[in-house]
Amino acid sequence: MASGANGTNNITDPFNTWQECNGPTGLLSSDTDLSEQPGCQAGNNNFARALDMLSGESYALIVNNFSQSGLGFSIEFGGTGTFLGPQADFAIDALDSFECDKTINFTNLSDSQTDPILSYQWNFGDGATPVFSDQEGPHDVIYDSFGEKTVALTIESTRGCSVTKIRDIDIAACCADTSSLSADAEAFDLICFDIPEGYIVAAGISGSPAYSYSIDVPNYQPNPIFNNLDIGEYTVTVIDRKGCTADVIVSIMEPEEIIANAGIDSLINFGEGLALDGSYSPFNLNLDVLWSPDDNIDCVNCLDPYVVPLGETTYQLLVTDENGCTDTDEVTIRVNIERPVYAPNIFSPNKDGNNDFFNLFAGPGASRIDHLYIFDRWGNRVYDGQNILLNEYNMGWDGIYKDQPVNPGVFTWLAKVRFIDDEVFSYTGDITIIR
């Protein structure tokens, strides 16, 4: 606060004899003084005129006679000034109602306490006539479409302050009873059974374009195509700029279901085969057929292929129509894995055409004898045959050793038999020769 010498002392007197002036001190917007003198003189109130600050400028406080008393004092001064710029605002009123094709009035309510407003920029939003204005107003505006509208007013003061006020208003529909709007739509059925890939193409006719479309009002979209639809009846609604609506009902259908049938599960012995019994419906369709896996099968594109599975196998039948629609079914063939091999215990190699050879016999699972060894009672190998066909009466050992018929007696045999799954097993036994 301001203080100092007054009428009872001199400014050269010690500082502690000066009169103190009580109360706050500072800058006051209603004060007209540029400075405040010491001494608590009449008319002084401890305040000076407020600063008229400019953006970007810095300000300092100067205190005279800071050191003359010899005692001194300290003071802090700082802070940030806030400009009181213009305030943008406007009022909205309807001469009749807040509907499209009706007059809506916009009145400027902006205010500026520091410097005059220099310019106005109005934007009345989509469908407005006029859309823009640079005049203060008031303005009469007509909207040619319904819906939410965004209105913006930007003002600028002489000192360059720019402020924008934005308000949203809802313009109601203004559809007349005589609207010419109608709706049209074409439905496209499902290509494959139970796959929701149907679609609808809608169109608005007459009325007031542009249109929006819906199959679940009130959810509208500007795109007239509705994709990935399932079977059923759909109400297609078209709405135009005025809010007029029109409906049309369409239906989406689906084709007959394609069904694949791979037949019934079966049990077979190892090495045996069987024909699969595939079928499909509708029977009047010409469907593509594919079996998998394709191992040990004679025709993958036939409904009844012949298969010889080497172990339990599940076959899948896939049928496909001309549109790429498919269905599948499976059949499992279980295999009884047994490898029986049979050998005679006596033969008479006397070239009478009856029982002249020793050979082995087996089921369809065996493919050949890799090796057949014959030994006499002293362990001499009298025969070594390779790659001998099974189940052949005129193949195998003919009772000859070193180009001479062996004497009647008992011999031991060892056979290594290869099967159709490429497994090799050893079998042994005795054979008696008689003549």
Domains 90-171 and 259-336 share a fold: yes
The fold for domain 341-433 equals Immunoglobulin-like (2.60.40)
Indicate the pairing of strand 266-269 with strand 274-275.
unpaired
Cβ count within 10 A of residue 65: 10
Mean pLDDT by 10 residues, the chain (435 residues): 50 56 66 71 72 69 55 59 80 92 96 90 96 96 94 93 94 84 97 97 95 96 98 97 95 97 97 96 94 96 97 97 96 96 96 94 96 96 97 96 95 98 97 93
Q: Say what the alpha-carbon torsion angle 90, 96, 99, 102 is, to the nearest 10 degrees.
A: -90
Bridge partner residues of 237 (DSSP): 214, 247
Contact residues for 308 (Cβ-Cβ < 8 A; gap 6+): 271, 272, 273, 296, 420
Q: Which residue in this structure is represented by tokens 């107003």? A: 137
Domain 90-171 grouped into CATH 2.60.40.10:
yes
Cβ count within 10 A of residue 201: 15
- DSSP-derived letter for residue 272 is -
Per domain, the residue ranges of the chain are 1-82, 90-171, 182-252, 259-336, 341-433
How far apart, in whole angstroms, are the C-alpha atoms of residue 158 and residue 170?
A: 34
How far apart, in whole angstroms, are the C-alpha atoms of residue 372 and residue 381?
A: 11
For 182-252, give the CATH class. mainly beta
- Single out the residue of 78, 127, 137, 135 nearest to residue 105, CA to CA: 137
How does DSSP assign 400-420, residue by residue?
Answer: EETTEEPPSEEEEEEEEEEET
- Single out the residue of 339, 336, 331, 430 nearest to residue 376, CA to CA: 430
In terms of CATH, what superfamily is 259-336? Immunoglobulins (2.60.40.10)
Predicted local distance difference test score (pLDDT) of residue 1: 43
Whole-Å CA distances, 16 to 21, 40, 62, 66, 217: 13, 15, 22, 14, 86
Predicted local distance difference test score (pLDDT) of residue 354: 92
